[in-house]
Amino acid sequence: MIDLHHHCLPGVDDGPGSMAEAVDLCKMAADEGIDTIVATPHVLRGRWRSGTRAEYASILDELRSKAGTPRRILLGSEYFFGHDMDEMLRNESILPLAGSRYVLVEFASHAIPPLVREPLYRAQLEGWTPVIAHPERNLVFRSNPEILASLLRIGVKTQVTTGSMTGDFGKEAEAASIDWLQRGWIHVMATDAHNTVKRPPRFQTARRRVVELAGEEIAEALFSENPKSIVENRGLVYDPDIPDVTGTKSKPLFARIRKLFPR
């Protein structure tokens, strides 16, 4: 299985504080059946200093050599949304997931900024696919899920935290995760692991829950096949149509374009 959202690089954000803890975190992930991690340090201006690609790659090389497992640890980032997203992608301030054209984007837990669709739209025009990190933990998405659905219809994808599916982030996040799973609004499950104690990389319990609620085929898509597609820079295997408010189903424009011009 592939974990696309994992803060395993030590000393760069609110993830592990030491290389020793980072090694232990990776070993815990391997014990959960994770064979590939995408390291996703925060890109959040004003709170942490964003490192360069070369700095992160150097830390990652050391972690690989000391951890020995999982089999692959790749580089990405978690970008805190700003309206200049397209510009930051052009100047390579944002590291896409595993060098693909997929970009992990997070919002504050209590708000969604105005005019959010336009920057996400512009990024897609330039060939990027935004993946919203943990929308189930966002108050606005939970209270008005149609806002999330409107982004899904223009081709944005979602990544839900495994701990939300098992109640670790509260009943509201759990309820939203289950609801959106059954609606087909989730594209990827990932741990968003930060440390070995409070935010460990738990996969198996959440996967069993998804199997119970939606079946083995959907679980395989969310935990393995779709993450693999992202790492390999392909279209998603599981990518349901999202009905609009009238109930009409339509494939997002960018999905139709990608069929004509495969990556």
Using an 8 Å Cβ cutoff, are 146 and 183 in contact? no
Q: How far is it, in rounded angstroms, from Cα 258 to Cα 86?
A: 19
How confident is the prediction for the chain on average, in pLDDT?
91
Q: How confident is the model at residue 245 (pLDDT cuts 50, 70, 90)?
A: low
Tell me, rounded to whole angstroms, the distance of Cα 167 from its chain centroid.
Answer: 18
Q: How far is it, in rounded angstroms, from Cα 132 to Cα 161?
A: 11
Answer yes or no: is pLDDT of 135 > 70. Answer: yes
Answer yes or no: is pLDDT of 247 > 90. Answer: no
Which residues lie closer than 8 Å to 263 by C-beta, 6 or more apart?
101, 233, 234, 235
Three-class SS of residue 103? strand
Answer yes or no: is pLDDT of 251 > 60. Answer: no
Answer yes or no: is pLDDT of 256 > 80. Answer: no
Answer yes or no: is pLDDT of 47 > 70. Answer: no
> For the domain with range 2-260, which CATH number is right: 2.120.10.30, 3.20.20.140, 3.40.50.720, 3.40.190.10?
3.20.20.140
- Report pLDDT for 240: 95
Residues 8-24 have a mean pLDDT of 94
Give domain limits for the chain: 2-260
